[in-house]
């Protein structure tokens, strides 16, 4: 199923998204470096809203925070600001999926010197995501709100990179959609090390058991100081497996 997803997405990327981006480049609304970022082909640069800084060495181990648009990036800014105050040694890379998200990310970078880069997340193809992770070598990937990217989630799992989904939202209609392909979404969501969904009840298929996901809180900060090779998820993730099995 994941292979089929990757094939279909590749057809969309090269059949639709790349041609559209080339037109935007011809109209002066985008750049080749941004297209390279979307394809995961950027080399040795941390791209910001202005196109990035070429030739800048990448950190060995970083925290990657993804927020797709301006609203999510503003929420991510709260987490990043707290991390920068409490953990001055961390190295943060922000990724976004929209122009507005990039602009908000740039504003966060100006406030927090530990944010070394703001760039577009690659389109969710396996090869593109693998190149992205290889370039940044993250110790932790944090996805803000319920952005389910199967390529990113499973790539992190293959590389044993912890991935946390924070400040998420999950409604009954979302669960119904996930149940259309239960094995696929069970594998994708199972790739996350921790899922934090605030205030929404997730009912199991049996309707005899239910579980609340743990709410996102500043407890996310403390595990980052733990092992150099991996970051342990919070203990409050015990309910995750039950909820995933209920899809």
* Alpha helices (H) in 13-53, listed in sequence order: 18-26, 32-38
Nearest to 43 by CA among 153, 116, 125, 134: 134
- Whether 72 sits among the annotated catalytic residues: the reply is yes
Measure Cα distances from 242 to 192, 214, 239, 246 in Å. Answer: 14, 13, 6, 6
User: Which parts of 114-209 are beta strand (E)?
Assistant: 115-120, 140-144, 163-168, 194-197, 201-203
Catalytic residue (choose from 21, 45, 72, 119): 72
Burial level of 29, CB count in 10 A (0-12/13-18/19+)?
exposed
Residue 142, helix vs strand vs coil: strand
Residues with a catalytic annotation lie at: 72
């Amino acid at each position: 199923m994941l292979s089929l997803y990757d094939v279909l997405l590749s057809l969309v990327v090269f059949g639709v998204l790349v041609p559209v981006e080339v037109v935007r480049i011809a109209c002066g609304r985008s750049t080749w470096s941004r297209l390279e970022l979307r394809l995961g082909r950027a080399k040795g640069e941390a791209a910001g809203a202005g196109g990035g800084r070429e030739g800048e060495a990448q950190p060995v181990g970083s925290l990657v925070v993804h927020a797709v648009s301006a609203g999510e990036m503003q929420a991510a800014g709260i987490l990043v600001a707290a991390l920068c105050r409490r953990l001055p040694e961390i190295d943060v890379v922000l990724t976004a999926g929209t122009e507005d998200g990039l602009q908000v990310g740039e504003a966060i970078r100006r406030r927090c010197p530990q944010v070394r880069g703001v760039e577009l997340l690659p389109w969710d193809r396996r090869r593109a995501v693998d190149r992205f992770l290889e370039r940044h070598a993250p110790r932790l990937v944090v996805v803000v709100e319920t952005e389910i990217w199967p390529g990113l989630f499973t790539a992190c799992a293959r590389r044993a990179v912890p991935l946390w989904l924070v400040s998420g939202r999950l409604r009954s209609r979302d669960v119904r959609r996930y149940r259309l392909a239960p094995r696929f979404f069970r594998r994708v969501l199972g790739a996350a090390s921790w899922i934090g969904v605030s205030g929404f009840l997730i009912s199991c298929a049996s309707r005899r058991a239910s579980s609340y996901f743990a709410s996102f809180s500043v407890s996310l900060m403390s595990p980052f100081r733990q092992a150099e090779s991996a970051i342990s998820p919070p203990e409050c993730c015990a309910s995750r497996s039950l909820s995933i099995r209920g899809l």
